[in-house]
Structure 1
């Protein structure tokens, strides 16, 4: 029983740590970061994603601070109606993830 309690506590702490490492940023904070030059301009980030999926449309965007990085997440529907999840390093513009949405 003691072992089960220990394993359960480790699992809970792991979940809490994961939650604490990702934080959504609001529009005001995102604009301050952009204006300070900490992250790239959103239009430039959007254009780089649309180059990956020509003729696509961006349906959602979100800026997060996770594991010490600013990550810009986008949902894109390409010209064929396929949905894509794309993540960029908001500081450098580097593509971190580009895969079809399940």
Structure 2
């Protein structure tokens, strides 16, 4: 493989990796997935996020599909006004990430 071929191959791979993004799911699709049992109920997912930060309130939620996995993102604000982002596996309810929002 010559240098030009290697550079073009790496550029193509980098471009392909950059274009793989999460796909936001709309309310109708989210409800279909929930009703089909593909993802947990939104009440359970919200409760799992709130369990990480008791007393917090939910400000925003979003369901995405990324790399074939459904992820539920919850933005919370705790009693001290600190914002938290909690990301859950929407199928299992497992917490994937929990970090303070900047």
Tell me the TM-score normalised to structure 1 length.
0.86
Identify the residue that residue 27 of structure 2 maps to in structure 1.
27
Displacement of 1:48: 1.4
Unaligned segments of structure 2, at least 5 residues: none
Q: Distance between the aligned counterparts of 1:33 and 1:12, measured in 2?
A: 31
Alignment of 1:15 with 2:13, yes or no, is: no
Cα RMSD (Å): 1.8
Unaligned segments of structure 1, at least 5 residues: none
Moved over 2 A (4+): 5-14
Identify the residue that residue 92 of structure 1 maps to in structure 2.
92
Tell me the TM-score normalised to structure 2 length.
0.86
